[in-house]
Structure 1
Amino acid sequence: MRTCVGCRRRDAQDALLRVVAVRDPDVTTRWRLAPDERRRAPGRGAYVHPDPECLQSAIARRAFGRALRLPAGSEVEVTTVQEQLRRWS
């Protein structure tokens, strides 16, 4: 069981998309969220339902930064995750 960072509901791990943060090599305060479908990427992961509403809620609440324990004031790029959710739909 995992908790979606968007809606805060608990669900089975296979019903959620795992997301990890990858540092932007050009800017130290910018992070890119990357979907981890195989759930094997190293580091801390956050889980979100494959639903655009959950993703938008997580972005609005700045939940990814907290869940992934990113430094305060970090920019988070989410376009890769948004594209992945569009492909799933």
Structure 2
Amino acid sequence: MNKEKKVPERSCIGCGAKREKKELLRVLRSPEGLWEIDPTGRKNGRGAYLCPDPECLRKAEKRRGLQKSFRMEVPAEIYRRLQEELERLAK
């Protein structure tokens, strides 16, 4: 009974690459309707995963990745705020 623990994988909504969950950032829409990046991956709400690369966020915006993941319209302002937060986390 030497079972290896399965590592959870998720796909990036920008580039589509499959990676370990802990390597990706979680974009969260809370039950109150707030959008944010959840570095812990544990906050309550619906989430989508994104590589910690600003280019992947640009690809996600072009491919409408958040709209598809959350099945709703996402204003361009949300992408701008997420871009700022992503840059802040990179520092």
**TM-score band, normalised by shorter chain:** 0.7 to 0.9
- Higher normalized helix content (fraction of residues): 2
Contact 1:35 / 1:80 at 8 angstroms: preserved in 2? no
Larger radius of gyration: 2
- Higher normalized strand content (fraction of residues): 1
TM-score where L is the length of structure 2: 0.74
Stretches of structure 2 that go unaligned for 5 or more consecutive residues are 1-8
Percent pairwise identity: 36
Partner of 2:45: 43
Instruction: Name which of 52, 56, 59 aligns with 1:57.
Output: 59
Stretches of structure 1 that go unaligned for 5 or more consecutive residues are 26-30
TM-score where L is the length of structure 1: 0.76
RMSD value over aligned CA atoms? 2.2
Cα distance, 1:74 vs structure 2:
4.5
Matched position secondary structure for 2:48: strand
Query: Which structure would you say has the larger RCO, counting Cα contacts within 8 Å and 6 or more residues apart?
Result: 1
Aligned length: 81
